[in-house]
Chain A
Amino acid sequence: MALLEVTDLHTRFRTDDGIVKAVSGVSFELDRGKTLGVVGESGSGKSVTFLTLMGLVDRRHAEVSGSVRFDGEELLGASGSRLQKIRGRRIGMIFQDPMTSLNPVKRIGWQLEEAVLLHHDVTRDEARRRAVEILKEVEIPRADARIDDYPHQFSGGMRQRVMIAMALINNPEVLIADEPTTALDVTTQAQILRLMTNLQQEHEMAIVMITHDLGVVAELADHVAVMYGGRVVEQAKVDDLFVKPEMPYTWGLLGSLPRLDITAARLEQIPGQPPSLLHPPPGCAFNPRCAYAFDRCREELPELRAGAGVVGEGHRFRCHLSDDERARIWEAKKAALQAEGSAA
């Protein structure tokens, strides 16, 4: 049994303009110690999916349905106090912007101790020792002195380390990382990612890496889920996805990825805008931007399915194009990319 099983999750927000279908029928599984990469543009529903399963969406404005089973226990509809016991204790979460995710008026030691004291019946001194220990583990220099500093006295990368420390302080089984490196510069990004993989091995925890950066996914993830318009449009083992992606949106994502081994004249881009979740297009949500869309795509939502000749077990995607057509288009794309590479 998987540690985290999400089945047919829906999240809808009631707004003054109408109902925003932020998440529509998302399903995935996460095993202990594994990493799931969740990729998509802003507004594809990737963050909301995980805020929903943590019980962090505002229930006054959100309608939630489906099932989230964590270690066999249903989380959707669980009581507030039950969720509080799981949040921060068994599922840790870190967020995109380390500059605003720490309380500016409390010392980081206080904030770390709070995370311990919320879940363990220990003294403040013991909590403080644990805080120093975890700060050392996330490689903050002079941890015992810096624990009494305020967040603004740390750089962005250091603050993200503090955030990671805070999420890991209770040894959670799952770490949900919502774009943890987006706000950081490139060298810091690499350090933070390396730190996360090291800690994953030591603590044997599962990681959900929410990102729009396929490079991060390629490096860290075991499985990938590509999200678009509030749905999973393709999911696979990470190698399978990069070897043979099966639908046009994923092709677009791969084409827009800068690569050092190929000197492209210019990066391919996906034309158009992400779909409105208030008034999503009928049929496949990607059809207005898809170069291969035909009538059926505008009428009928493609199921998440496996196809004949698709590499890898568990590789599923949403596309109406036939297996032959998809294979032909991908071969052509791959050849074009390689031709550009060798021409340079």
Chain B
Amino acid sequence: MLYFLIRRFFWAIFLFFCATVIAYIIFFVIPSDPATIACGTHCTPQIIAHVRQSLHLDLPIYQQYWIFIWNMFRHGSLGYSYANGQSVTSILRQDAPVTASLVFGGAVFWLGLSIPIGILSALRPRSIGDRFAMVFVLVGISAPPVWIGLILAYLIGFKLGWTPIATYCNLLPTSGTGECSGPAQWAYHLILPWMTFMFLFSALYVRLIRANVMETMSEDYVRTARAKGASAQRVLFQHVLRNSMLPVVTILGMDIGLALGGAVFTEFVFNLRGLGSQLILSAQRDDLPVVVGVVVFATLAVIVFNFLVDVTYAWLDPRIRLST
């Protein structure tokens, strides 16, 4: 296990460098002049030159990259936005909870829907319920997230008026005036984005869970359990589910890790100020430090969730525990 952790750690560092280097290179391939943006509206060439120097934009790319790495490891700083001078870490601290709320809440929704449906349609393949679930799956896979989000916002938020269609409320109560906050408001405002996630992901997960449960049901050890005299429910809960959840854990970890890097479309539709909308905004105005900051955060999210997947896997499957 120790060897496994060490190997994982070095992979994570390698992955981190790859992601940040690629972000830097992409930025320097795109022709732009961040100094002009950073300077603002009333700029003279002298001021631009000064800004360029203070932001180290006059240095070659590898030196800029080095300064970025140095600041991060030495000062824990990801730099400052070219656009408004705000520190990138504070931007991340502000935006990450929004995306995290969206993604984790969404995951609860999509798993809560797809696990029962997947199991039921695996137990009754070709039944009416199974076919109905299949139609739902096809719609979910085919429809773009923006469309699902807009339709939900229109029907439930606007037509029925049951839920708000935009904005985010803090989970923890804040004393600021005019701001909505607290768990109830938080959940109330996020219902539609969560449902969007639910439709988007549960389609794939129903398919995945159905296939895995069906495959596990045909395993020899399931037949053994039945030959022992175990009831159908007991076979399902004690012998089938744990084995069939292994691949689901892998995909879930990857999806959550990726989504934390910015659920771009869903945030866009519901006007949530999360990492996804921040990434788009910053990329549009060539705000390199913020983009790299989001990339760093997303990389860490993917690394952390891959690690969690491995740990969960080892917990679920003793064969992996012992071979590593």
Contact = CB atoms under 8 A, between A and B. Distances in A.
Interface of A: 54, 56, 80-81, 84-89, 92-93, 95, 97, 100-106, 114-115, 118-119, 150, 152-153, 163, 166-167
B318 interface: yes
A266 to B, nearest CB: 35
Contact of A114 (B219, B226, B228, B319): B228
Contact of A166 (B226, B228, B316): B228
A161 to B, nearest CB: 14
A110 to B, nearest CB: 9
B215 interface: no
Nearest to A56: B226
A85 B316 CA distance: 30
A152 B323 CA distance: 11
Given A56-B223, A95-B220, A95-B223, A103 B230 contact: no
A106 to B, nearest CB: 8
Nearest to A119: B229
Nearest to A88: B229
Contacts of B273: none
Contact of B231 (A84, A92, A166): A84
Contact of B316 (A100, A105, A150): A105
B232 to A, nearest CB: 8
Contacts of A101: 220-221, 223-224
A237 B225 CA distance: 33
8 contacts: A87-B228, A88-B228, A95-B220, A95-B224, A95-B227, A100-B219, A102-B224, A114-B228
A54 B227 contact: yes
Contact of B243 (A54, A87, A104): A104
A84 to B, nearest CB: 5
A114 to B, nearest CB: 7
Contacts of B317: 104-105
Interface in B35-90: none
A105 B227 contact: no
B219 A150 contact: no
A117 to B, nearest CB: 10
A101 B226 CA distance: 11
Contacts of A85: 229
B202 to A, nearest CB: 25
A182 to B, nearest CB: 13
B219 to A, nearest CB: 7
**Chain B interface residue bracket vs A:** 20 to 34
Nearest to B323: A152
Given A95-B220, A104-B318, A114-B238, A56 B227 contact: yes
Given A104-B319, A105-B317, A84 B220 contact: no
Contacts of A54: 227
Nearest to A86: B229
Given A84-B229, A87-B229, A106-B238, 15 more contacts: A80-B231, A87-B226, A88-B228, A88-B229, A100-B220, A101-B223, A103-B224, A103-B225, A104-B318, A105-B316, A105-B317, A114-B230, A115-B228, A166-B228, A167-B227
A86 B227 CA distance: 9
A92 B227 CA distance: 7
Nearest to B126: A60
Count chain B CB atoms within 10 A of each CB in A89, A97, A100 and give the residue with the most.
Answer: A100
B8 interface: no
Nearest to A104: B319
A104 B243 CA distance: 8
Contacts of A118: 228-230, 234
A47 to B, nearest CB: 11
A84 B318 CA distance: 29
Contact of B230 (A84, A100, A150, A152): A84
Nearest to B231: A84
Contacts of B220: 95, 97, 100-101
B242 interface: yes
A104 B242 CA distance: 10
B319 to A, nearest CB: 5
A119 B231 CA distance: 11
A106 B229 CA distance: 17
A342 to B, nearest CB: 46
Contacts of B318: 104-105, 150, 152
B121 to A, nearest CB: 14
Contact of A163 (B224, B231, B238, B239): B224
Contacts of A105: 242-243, 316-318
A173 B319 CA distance: 35
A115 B220 CA distance: 16
A89 B229 CA distance: 7
A13 to B, nearest CB: 14
* Cβ-closest 6 pairs across A and B: A88-B229, A88-B228, A100-B220, A87-B229, A93-B227, A103-B221
